[in-house]
Structure 1
Amino acid sequence: MGRFGRLPTVLVYCAMDYGYYRDALAGIAKYAGRKWRILITTDFPSANHLKGHHAVGFIGPITSPEREDIVRNAGIPGVNISSHLKTPRTAAVRPNNPVIGEIAADHLIDRGYRHFAVTDTSDKGYENDRVRGFVDRLAAQGYACTVLPRHLSEQGDDPRDPKALAALVKPVGIFMPHDRAAIRMLSKVVDANFNVPGDFAFVGVDNDVAFCTATLPNLTSIDPGSDIVGFKAAQVLDEMLANKRQPRAPILIAPRGVIARESTDLAKLNDPEIAGIVRYIREHACQGLAVKAVSEQFAMSRRTLERRFNQLLGRSVLDEIRRVQIEHARELLTQTDLKIETVSSRCGFEDFRCLIRQFRKHEGVPPGTFRRMRRMK
């Protein structure tokens, strides 16, 4: 027997059609290193398959109670990396789906959108959790959300599509709970000769890079931290193999955040000069940027700068600087354990008191409370 054949075998089911599962596989492999032999299957295994390979454990999406039974009856520990089952009976590691929706809402609000829409996911489980997070976040900020008819996010043209698109108040920010649905509707919008992101802005989920960058305009998407899900799932399996204890509840992984692309890119504005200023603010806001410095950089009087900026974006230059700073602060608070003072410094605030004051103004709660709320969900 070769040296790799002597390693314990962990069977990993990977639905290769989905970027989420491919990225999770990368995280599993990173944890496993050379301590396990990873055996990949692209079809959900049967009980005989699990037993026949003498696997010590299983990791993969378990999407039904029947599949749970297969893993449990095989007599080996399994870790579910799917969000389909609300109360799984196996160990589970999954993205924090309500927070994904919240991040999407924050991104569209920050981009200046005031009308919003989502697809109907009333019977879609984890997709509904993402949409609920989106809608609840909007409501907390005082915004309503339209529920779209399902045919707009389904494959193929529907004679009802043009009328449904025309009926939406524009500009409108659209959230779809996964990239494929977002791309399907985005294509219909482009075919109907609407402007993206001028009339419609789109945010998907999973950051499936091949899909997001192949479509035009490129799709903005939430990175759910799929590789971290995979890494943590492997760690949980390792702990179960060592002590036989299964976690009592699903372990939730905070999303990495927004991967902004053309479908929400305000730099694609009709005014090239203001578009350049928006890009400049994005790049320098967290370095302690002042409005005076922006005015001087673009050789424009402050009065003219403010007038043109407000006409196009509906907010002041300082508002845009603060928006970028707060957006970065939210990411750091969600994804790291950095102290508030460090977050303040990295976001370009004068001191941590200024961060607390501005964060409370934008989010309604201080940074520490925001961090705890995100992690409890």
Structure 2
Amino acid sequence: MPTAREECLRFLSGVGAFQSSFERWNCVLDNDAHSVREPKWLFQNKLDGIICHNRNPVVLNECLKRGIPCIDINDETPAIPGIPKIRPDNAAIGQTGGEYLMDRGFRNFGFCGFNSESWSQERMSGFREAVQLVRHDSAELETGYTLNESELLIEVQDDWAAEQEKHIIDWIASLPKPVGIMACNDLRAVQVVTACLQLNLSIPNDVAVLGANDEESRCDLCNPSVSSVPVNAFYWGQVAAKSLSSLMNGESLDFCEKLIEPLEVVTRKSTDVLAVPDKHIAQAMKLIREKACEGLRVEDLLEAIPVSRSYLEKRFRKYFGKSPQMEIRSTQISQIKRLLIETDLTLSQIAEQTGFSQSEYMGVVFRRVTGEPPGTFRAKMKMNT
């Protein structure tokens, strides 16, 4: 596993959290793919199980030959029979990005990805599906992306960045503005930001830019800082560790491939905007984001904004594809999810902090929206099942 990537470090933290609570493992970490070049180096150890991120199948095939339980977590190569695969739900990452940009009021959309990577194409497909559901189209740009022989780092040739930038500049210049663009990952998002600055476009007013994977250092070092859809890497690591433990204990798994859903978008300066020309509707959305978890009602919006209910409903649906009440609920649910994952607050305390008078009613609403009770969601995310 390439520990230079922040996502991989969060994954390893999840593995560590599982083993500290449930197992007493002695782990060997191969963070430079030495085992891919020299499999004998890895298998000279007496191994009871392996988690493998690398896209080269040599380690996986050796595990099959030797009967060593193995979990494949690479999201580029297809699953190998006999080796369970656990990877991010890339289509859901794209859908999350599309829905997020629509919630910002954008009506023009673009996706910038890599044509040689299936994970990028899955994210593009999810993004496209999300915006087409509300009858919008997405402009798309894909160019090349290669890895070096260790298959851990991008192979950056002298003219690679310049060629990428030229393609992206020409593409962005052709798009109607304002436009919300999702990039397949944060590296690509930074390239989109650079291209926009070369065109003297305002970010986020002319172009809002959203990345994926939430590499915090890369996102924060960019100016403006880049918003991103995070992979739920900590939970991913927990699931992989628990699955490997089951295999090592002689148990069978009830899946061949498991997909890990993303977390909520981390908003930074590159998308901190509402692309809505109607000042009353923009004000309504601002109030919802600020006060939804204080028990805000549609009636409260109408008291604060000088428009009729029918005007508010129609215009809100026009720009966001949903009613004000649905947006209030969506904002509350997002906050409930965050508190369930990041805190140990009771359901009564969470209800109080998110605008519900009773935890029972919060549970009913949460289940109606997400399909599961809050307690089940928390257990799933914290691996307390």
TMscore range, shorter length: 0.7 to 0.9
- What does residue 125 of structure 2 align with? 132
- What does residue 367 of structure 1 align with? 369
Contiguous gaps of at least 5 residues in structure 2: 146-159, 342-348, 374-379, 381-385
Report how many aligned residue pairs link the two structures: 346
Instruction: Kindly report the root-mean-square deviation, in angstroms, between the aligned alpha carbons of the 2 structures.
Output: 4.6
Q: Are 2:20 and 1:20 equivalent residues in the alignment?
A: no
CA drift at 1:15 = 0.4
> Residue by residue, what CA displacement relative to the aligned partner does 1:308-355 show, whole Å, maximum 9, x if unpaired?
xx99x9869x96674253244368689979xxxx99987647999x99
CA contact (8 A) 1:179 1:211 kept: yes
Q: Are 2:329 and 1:325 equivalent residues in the alignment?
A: yes
Q: Classify the secondary structure of the residue corresponding to 1:185.
A: helix
Q: Are 2:161 and 1:155 equivalent residues in the alignment?
A: yes
Q: How does 1:1-377 map to 2 (within 5 A)?
A: 14-33=1-20, 35-44=24-33, 45=35, 46-89=38-81, 90-150=83-143, 155-156=161-162, 158-266=165-273, 281-290=288-297, 302=306, 322-329=326-333, 348=355, 367=369
Gap change, CA 1:145 and 1:280, over 3 Å in 2: same
> Residue by residue, what CA displacement relative to the aligned partner does 1:137-168 show, whole Å, maximum 9, x if unpaired?
2111211111125389x622554544322211
CA drift at 1:29 = 1.0
Quote the Cα distance in structure 1 between the aligned partners of 2:226 and 2:369.
29
Quote the Cα distance in structure 1 between the aligned partners of 2:167 and 2:249.
57
Gap change, CA 1:193 and 1:131, over 3 Å in 2: same
TM-score by length of 1: 0.75
Gap change, CA 1:155 and 1:132, over 3 Å in 2: same
Q: Classify the secondary structure of the residue corresponding to 2:228.
A: strand
Quote the Cα distance in structure 2 between the aligned partners of 1:254 and 1:162.
32
Quote the Cα distance in structure 2 between the aligned partners of 1:187 and 1:274.
31
CA contact (8 A) 2:173 2:199 kept: no
Quote the Cα distance in structure 1 between the aligned partners of 2:372 and 2:130.
13
Contiguous gaps of at least 5 residues in structure 1: 1-13, 360-365
Quote the Cα distance in structure 2 between the aligned partners of 1:268 and 1:213.
23
CA contact (8 A) 1:86 1:125 kept: no
Gap change, CA 1:265 and 1:274, over 3 Å in 2: farther
Quote the Cα distance in structure 1 between the aligned partners of 2:105 and 2:352.
26
Quote the Cα distance in structure 1 between the aligned partners of 2:339 and 2:93.
12
Which piece of structure 1 moves more, 242-251 or 95-104? 242-251
CA contact (8 A) 2:178 2:275 kept: no
Q: Classify the secondary structure of the residue corresponding to 2:55.
A: coil
CA contact (8 A) 1:25 1:227 kept: yes
> Residue by residue, what CA displacement relative to the aligned partner does 1:238-285 show, whole Å, maximum 9, x if unpaired?
111111535541122221221111111127999x99999865542311
Gap change, CA 1:242 and 1:159, over 3 Å in 2: closer
Gap change, CA 1:101 and 1:162, over 3 Å in 2: closer
CA contact (8 A) 2:111 2:140 kept: yes
Which piece of structure 1 moves more, 286-295 or 72-81? 286-295
CA contact (8 A) 2:209 2:227 kept: yes
Gap change, CA 1:328 and 1:254, over 3 Å in 2: farther
CA contact (8 A) 1:93 1:252 kept: yes
- What does residue 363 of structure 1 align with? none
> Residue by residue, what CA displacement relative to the aligned partner does 1:74-119 show, whole Å, maximum 9, x if unpaired?
4321111221123233122112221111111110000001111112
CA drift at 1:187 = 1.6
Gap change, CA 1:333 and 1:176, over 3 Å in 2: same
The share of aligned pairs that are identical, in percent, is 21
TM-score by length of 2: 0.73
Gap change, CA 1:133 and 1:160, over 3 Å in 2: closer
Q: Classify the secondary structure of the residue corresponding to 2:204.
A: coil
Q: Classify the secondary structure of the residue corresponding to 2:85.
A: strand
AA at the equivalent of 1:47: P
CA contact (8 A) 2:169 2:198 kept: no
Gap change, CA 1:291 and 1:324, over 3 Å in 2: closer
AA at the equivalent of 2:104: R
> Residue by residue, what CA displacement relative to the aligned partner does 1:344-367 show, whole Å, maximum 9, x if unpaired?
987647999x99xx99xxxxxx73
